Amino acid sequence: MAGEHILVVDDDADVREALRLMLEPKGYKVTLCATGPEGRELARTRVPDLILLDIMLATVSEGLHVAYELQKDESLAHVPIIMISSIGETLGLDYASEVGTDYLPATCFLPKPLTAAMVLEAVEQALTEARTEKSGA
């Protein structure tokens, strides 16, 4: 649905800009930020429809900590989170197998480098599932 708000939290300015360039032409409103604390604050002040969150921000697992905090917040628990990371292929597969568990409280995991097709498919699927859950269907 055009106009949905996506919050992108990634410490790499090039990745943030690439994601913005992938999403805005499809009609999404995109907010960019570089740190976990900034992402938490932005999510709480303007609840997004979806969050793209890097696993490794200032520290190796800061993104995971942010995801846990957001999922515990009743006003944000319904917001789908897509975790992204440039971690190694094997570790990435490990993360992907843990999606939706206490270990990785996210809707899905996308390994970097990201492609527009990969990102758009994941975003559209996550938003569709969130709409379906919200409508109770």
- Radius of gyration over every alpha carbon of the chain, rounded to an integer in angstroms: 14
Residue 115 above 60 pLDDT?
Answer: yes
Residue 92 above 50 pLDDT?
Answer: no
Q: C-alpha distances in angstroms, 109 versus 11, 14, 46, 54?
A: 17, 19, 23, 10
pTM value is 0.87
CATH 3.40.50.2300 given to domain 5-135: yes
Mean pLDDT of 84-111: 63
Question: What confidence tens digit (pLDDT) does each residue in 18-71 have?
Answer: 999 999 999 999 999 999 999 999 999 999 999 999 988 887 678 888 988 998
In whole numbers, what is the pLDDT of the chain averaged over residues?
Answer: 86
Nearest Cα neighbor of 122 from 72, 81, 92 is: 81
Where along the chain do its domains lie? Answer: 5-135
Nearest Cα neighbor of 109 from 30, 117, 124, 100 is: 100
**If DSSP codes are grouped into helix, strand and coil, which group holds residue 109?**
strand
Identify the pLDDT of residue 43: 97
Identify the pLDDT of residue 93: 47
Identify the pLDDT of residue 97: 53
Residue 16 above 90 pLDDT?
Answer: yes
Residue 107 above 90 pLDDT?
Answer: no
